[in-house]
């Protein structure tokens, strides 16, 4: 069976002598792996189309339920080469990719997630910034139902500025119960960081370019999100090591 779709390369892994295992994000098959024969040979017909972050039109061959179909064609639509040329820029994009692979189930259609990653990679190529990376992470968490709740206590809705990581929400004094005594991790947030978080997640993407947060405010939201992601994924994003000092 032949499957044609679009795909963004999330990751590649060497296999055997000259082959590659390629992980894509596709709109109609979600996260999907494919086997690319002889892809690492100098004269490979795939050329640069299997470079990380490349957006291509691709064709798979194999049974409909095959876990590892064979990649037979890959035509570049947008190479995103600029994102691979600088270490910090590539690290920010890699952090986005790692979160994508952590949140999206394999083989489930993901049109909205695909469109979001495609658009944000294009924005990152125009302006490679920690802010754009943060916008993507917030919106992907919202899309998949994992977004932290910062606007009002997660239990009663009252005003609250302490984020309890294990609860995924801010809680007021009355609703914390025995969480503090149990040593639950708490991240303090400011009204400014709550407004920034809400704006990045809800404004139209074109309008988010108007947002110019201070470095301190940006760091506050990033730190909270890092703690939240580490909890839901049972570990930190490895690529975060390289982006922790990115302006």
pLDDT digits 0-9 by tens, 213-235 = 999 999 999 999 999 999 999 99
- Using an 8 Å Cβ cutoff, are 243 and 91 in contact? yes
**All structural domains of the chain:** 1-79 (2.40.50.140)
pLDDT digits 0-9 by tens, 53-64 = 999 999 999 876
Closest CA relative to residue 34, chosen from 78, 73, 75 = 73
Tell me, what's the pLDDT at 183? 79
Residues (pLDDT < 70) of the chain are 64-65, 241-247
Tell me, what's the pLDDT at 247? 46
Tell me, what's the pLDDT at 66? 72
DSSP symbols for 61-88: ES-TT-SSPEEEEEEEEE--GGGGSSHH
Closest CA relative to residue 103, chosen from 77, 130, 139, 68 = 139
Tell me, what's the pLDDT at 54? 98
Q: Give me the sign of the Cα torsion angle 103, 109, 115, 118.
A: positive
Tell me, what's the pLDDT at 243? 62
């Amino acid at each position: 069976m032949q499957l044609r779709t679009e795909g963004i390369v999330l990751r590649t892994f060497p296999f055997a002598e000259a082959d590659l295992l390629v992980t894509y994000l596709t709109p109609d098959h979600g996260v999907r792996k494919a086997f690319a024969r002889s892809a690492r040979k100098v004269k490979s017909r795939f050329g640069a189309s299997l470079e990380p972050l490349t957006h291509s039109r691709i064709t798979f061959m194999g049974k409909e339920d095959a876990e590892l179909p064979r990649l037979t064609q890959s035509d570049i639509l947008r190479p995103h080469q600029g994102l691979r040329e600088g270490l910090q820029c590539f690290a920010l994009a890699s952090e986005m990719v790692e979160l994508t692979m952590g949140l999206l189930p394999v083989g489930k259609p993901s049109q909205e997630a695909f469109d979001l990653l495609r658009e944000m990679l294009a924005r990152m190529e125009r302006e490679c910034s920690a802010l754009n990376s943060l916008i993507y992470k917030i919106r992907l968490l919202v899309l998949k139902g994992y977004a932290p709740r910062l606007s009002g206590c997660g239990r009663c809705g009252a005003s609250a500025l302490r984020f309890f990581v294990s609860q995924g929400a801010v809680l007021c004094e009355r609703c914390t119960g025995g969480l503090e005594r149990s040593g639950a991790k708490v991240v303090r947030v400011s009204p400014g960081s709550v407004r920034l978080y809400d704006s990045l997640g809800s404004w139209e993407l074109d309008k988010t370019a108007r947002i110019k947060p201070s470095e301190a405010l940006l760091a506050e939201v990033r730190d909270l999100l890092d703690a939240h992601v580490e909890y839901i994924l049972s570990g930190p994003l490895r690529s975060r090591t390289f982006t922790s000092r990115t302006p």
